[in-house]
Amino acid sequence: MNDRPVISPFESEARDFDDWFFHNRNVFESELKATARFVTDPERTLSVGAGSGIFDERLGIQHGVEPAAGMAELARQRGINVKIGNAEDLPYPDGSFRGILLNTVLSYVSDRPRAVAEAARVLEPGGHIIVSYICREGSYAMLYDLAVARGKHDPEAAPPVPYPLKFMQGTHWCSTDEIISLLNGAGFKDLDFVQTLTRHPRYSVLEVEEPVPGYDRGDYVVVRGTRK
pLDDT of residue 1: 36
Q: pLDDT (tens digit, 9 = 90+) per residue, 23-69?
A: 999 999 999 999 999 999 999 999 999 999 999 999 999 999 999 99
Residue pair 140/199 in contact (Cβ under 8 Å)? The answer is: no
pLDDT of residue 10: 72
Sheet holding 220-227, edge to edge: 81-84, 63-66, 45-48, 97-103, 123-134, 220-227, 188-196, 212-213
Q: pLDDT (tens digit, 9 = 90+) per residue, 115-140?
A: 999 999 999 999 999 999 999 999 99
pLDDT of residue 7: 58
Strands (E), the chain: 45-48, 63-66, 81-84, 97-103, 123-134, 188-196, 212-213, 220-227
pLDDT band at 197 (very low <50, low <70, confident <90, very high): very high
User: How far is the C-alpha of 64 from the C-alpha of 51, rounded, in Å?
Assistant: 9
- Asked if the model's pLDDT at residue 195 lies above 60, the reply is yes
The predicted model scores a pTM of 0.94
Q: pLDDT (tens digit, 9 = 90+) per residue, 170-182?
A: 899 999 999 999 9
Residue pair 224/191 in contact (Cβ under 8 Å)? The answer is: yes
**CATH number of the structural domain 8-227:** 3.40.50.150
Beta pairing partners, 132: 103, 222
- Report the first-to-last Cα separation within the chain, whole angstroms: 29
Q: Which of 27, 17, 18, 20 is nearest to 199 (CA)?
A: 27
User: How far is the C-alpha of 57 from the C-alpha of 54, rounded, in Å?
Assistant: 6
